[in-house]
Structure 1
Amino acid sequence: MSKRTAGEAGHGVDVSEVDMDGLNKIIKEQDRVEIIIDRLAEKKLAPVYEKRRTVVSKIPKFWAMAFGQHAELFAYLQNKEDQDALGYLRDVNVIRDAQESRAFTLELHFNENPYFSDSVLRKEYRYVAPPGANSEQPDADGITPSALNFSWEDHVNPQSTTINWKDDSKNLTQKYPPKEDDDDDDAMDTEANAGSFFNLFEQEGDSHEVGIVIADDLYPNAIDYFLGRGPNGLDAWEDDEDEAEDEGDEE
Structure 2
Amino acid sequence: MSASTAKVSRKENSNHDGAEETSEKEQQEAIEHIDEVQNEIDRLNEQASEEILKVEQQFNKLRQPYFQKRSDLIAKIPNFWVTTFVNHPQVSALLGEEDEEALHYLSRVEVTEFEDIKSGYRIDFYFDENPYFENKALSKEFNVNESGDPVSKSTEIKWKAGKDLTKRSAQTPNKAGKKRQHEEPESFFTWFTDHSDAGADELGEVIKDDIWPNPLQYYLDDGDDD
Q: TM-score, normalised by structure 2?
A: 0.70
Q: Deviations over 1:208-240 (max 9, x none)?
A: 421122122211211222222xxxx957xx9xx
Instruction: Tell me the secondary structure at the aligned position of residue 94 of structure 1.
Output: strand
> In 1, Cα distance between the equivalents of 2:93 and 2:36?
47
Shift of 1:90: 0.4
Shift of 1:2: 7.9
1:49 aligns with 2:64: no
Instruction: Tell me the secondary structure at the aligned position of residue 106 of structure 1.
Output: strand
What amino acid maps onto 1:196 in structure 2? S
1:224 aligns with 2:214: no
Contact persistence 2:105–2:127 (CA under 8 A): yes
1:33 aligns with 2:27: no
In the alignment, what sits opposite 2:82? 64
Among 71, 90, 105, the alignment partner of 1:88 is 105
What amino acid maps onto 1:88 in structure 2? Y
Among 142, 148, 151, the alignment partner of 1:157 is 151
- Mark the CA change 1:2 to 1:122 in structure 2 (over 3 Å): closer, same or farther: farther
Unaligned segments of structure 1, at least 5 residues: 5-14, 131-153, 178-191, 239-251
CA RMSD of aligned residues (A): 3.0
- Mark the CA change 1:200 to 1:120 in structure 2 (over 3 Å): closer, same or farther: same
Among 195, 203, 207, the alignment partner of 2:186 is 195
Q: Deviations over 1:133-181 (max 9, x none)?
A: xxxxxxxxxxxxxxxxxxxxx343111432111123x21111279xxxx
Contact persistence 1:107–1:122 (CA under 8 A): yes
In the alignment, what sits opposite 1:17? 35
In the alignment, what sits opposite 1:101? 117
Shift of 1:68: 1.7
> In 2, Cα distance between the equivalents of 1:224 and 1:213?
14
In the alignment, what sits opposite 2:9? none
Contact persistence 2:113–2:121 (CA under 8 A): yes
> In 1, Cα distance between the equivalents of 2:30 and 2:111?
45
> In 2, Cα distance between the equivalents of 1:209 and 1:73?
10
> In 2, Cα distance between the equivalents of 1:69 and 1:33?
36
In the alignment, what sits opposite 1:246? none
What amino acid maps onto 2:135 in structure 1? D
> In 2, Cα distance between the equivalents of 1:68 and 1:26?
43
Q: Deviations over 1:168-196 (max 9, x none)?
A: 3x21111279xxxxxxxxxxxxxx99721
> In 2, Cα distance between the equivalents of 1:196 and 1:76?
7
- Mark the CA change 1:129 to 1:165 in structure 2 (over 3 Å): closer, same or farther: same
> In 1, Cα distance between the equivalents of 2:169 and 2:30?
54
Contact persistence 1:176–1:196 (CA under 8 A): no
Instruction: Tell me the secondary structure at the aligned position of residue 188 of structure 2.
Output: coil
Q: Which structure has the greater CA radius of gyration?
A: 2
In the alignment, what sits opposite 1:167? 161
Q: Deviations over 1:104-158 (max 9, x none)?
A: 221100111111111101111134356xxxxxxxxxxxxxxxxxxxxxxx34311
- Mark the CA change 1:18 to 1:198 in structure 2 (over 3 Å): closer, same or farther: same
- Mark the CA change 1:120 to 1:80 in structure 2 (over 3 Å): closer, same or farther: same
> In 2, Cα distance between the equivalents of 1:157 and 1:193?
28
> In 1, Cα distance between the equivalents of 2:204 and 2:184?
17
More helix by share: 2
Contact persistence 1:97–1:127 (CA under 8 A): no
